[in-house]
A = this chain, B = another copy of it.
Amino acid sequence: MKASSDQPSIPFSRLGRGIQPPVIVDLMARALANPELLSLAAGFTDNAVLPRELVGRFAAELTNSGLEDEPLQYGQNQGRARLRELTCERIATHPGERLAAFDPAQLFITNGSQQALYLAIQAICDPGDIVLVEEPSYFVCLEMLKGLGLRPIGIPCDDAGAILPGALDCLLRTLDENGERERVKAIYLVSYFCNPSSRSLELDEKVAVAEALLANGYAIPVIEDAAYRELYFEAPHPVPSIMSLDAFASFPKLYLGTYTKSFATGLKVGYGYCSHAAWLGKILGIKGHQDFGTAHFNQSIIERVLDEGLYADHLATIQQHYAHKAVVMHTGLLAGGLLDAGWRWEQPKGGLIFWLRGPDGADLRMDSAFCQRCIEHGVLYVPGDLCFSSGKPWHCARLATGALPERRLREAAERFAEVARRL
């Protein structure tokens, strides 16, 4: 029975009524559908450095003979114990982290870190509630929050994405004055090579967030999204996570990480680490209803790679690879004359994203003449307004360097620059 216009209408749920087709889905579909269009939009990784050999080797090993702990069987809802242990150890290798801060019993494995974020938000937010975010912030998160009927509210940041001193304090007092205190349920920070700003939170900035929250009596859950943390170019960002910082000791905390960016995207294995026992219990309860466990085979493969000590080498290779691509993009934008044309950006120190600010008054939104010209020139980007809770300003663009091979990345930068310098 094909869908047709004479179908009965369904009274959708509150959530259902609020759902709009996610932009991420559209962007991914466009990129996959039209190979002529050079996509700087979807945050894909680079096929060239996906760990085909490692995944193939351990997939073969794991299916070669019947194992007591069968990878093709169901696993546990929370995820494999050994993988959770290895993941905790892995997080603890970052500068300033304390291994004691990471207990495998509080880590849970998910279908990408997106699911961990979704579950955590489901547990603590009702429609109408507020989640504080940076400006700009991860647009898929903003869409997801709005889809759940929530109100992301941006903490004023400078043009490059740094939280303005005193801004959070001022925002919290304003929310108080407007009687919104009880609606503020969480703060969401993309603190390592932020998607989209590409910057990382500095220690004093992070501590200032905790102090402003405490000074105003907001002991709310703090969610730290570290999806790109491992993709540093020269050196890891030296600031420890909220889990190891004394300033955050009294907060309920969630730390999000993933193996989709740093290892095998198509295995879709991410994780969350939750410091708060009751919150974790709710998260696991909801996951039990949503899918009662992430693909056991995929977890087993990554566990084997980590256990054999093969992860770090792979990571070093892709760090170098993505560092080079960032240079290609930076050089391309410079060569395209964008500085003279009034465009600004920081050269990223990690991650897969460039965050460009066009001249004041520029309109780069999805339905703008600029965006249309870019598509005509065969290049796609994420309009920056999607990364702001209010949908403004309109003069920014997110360019992702992950997917395209070097030659095509150079071409995409050229195409973008050609349109951009004539803005």
Q: Chain A: residues with CB nearer than 8 A to chain B?
A: 1-4, 7-16, 19-22, 24-25, 28-29, 32, 42, 44-45, 47-48, 50-53, 55-56, 59-60, 62-66, 70-78, 100-101, 103, 106, 110-112, 114-115, 118, 122-126, 129, 140, 143-144, 147-148, 182, 185, 219, 221, 243, 249-253, 260, 264-269, 275-282, 284-286, 288-298, 300
Contact = CB atoms under 8 A, between A and B. Distances in A.
A224 to B, nearest CB: 13
Contact of A11 (B63, B185, B290, B294): B185
A295 B48 contact: no
A103 B28 CA distance: 22
Nearest to A6: B250
B243 A25 contact: no
B59 A56 contact: yes
A285 B66 contact: no
A208 to B, nearest CB: 20
Nearest to A297: B266
A318 to B, nearest CB: 12
Contacts of A73: 44-45, 47, 50, 265-266
A144 B289 contact: yes
Given A25-B288, A264-B297, A295-B298, A64 B56 contact: yes
A277 B281 CA distance: 36
Contacts of A278: 7, 9-10, 12
Contacts of A10: 124, 221, 252, 276, 278-279
B59 A291 contact: no
B7 A277 contact: yes
B74 A266 contact: yes
A3 B282 contact: no
A403 B121 CA distance: 35
A415 B157 CA distance: 66
B72 A267 contact: yes
A296 B268 contact: yes
A145 B29 CA distance: 32
A292 B282 CA distance: 22
Contact of A28 (B19, B64, B77): B77
Given A47-B72, A148-B289, 15 more contacts: A1-B101, A9-B278, A13-B185, A15-B286, A24-B77, A47-B66, A50-B70, A52-B64, A56-B64, A72-B267, A74-B260, A111-B294, A143-B288, A144-B289, A147-B286
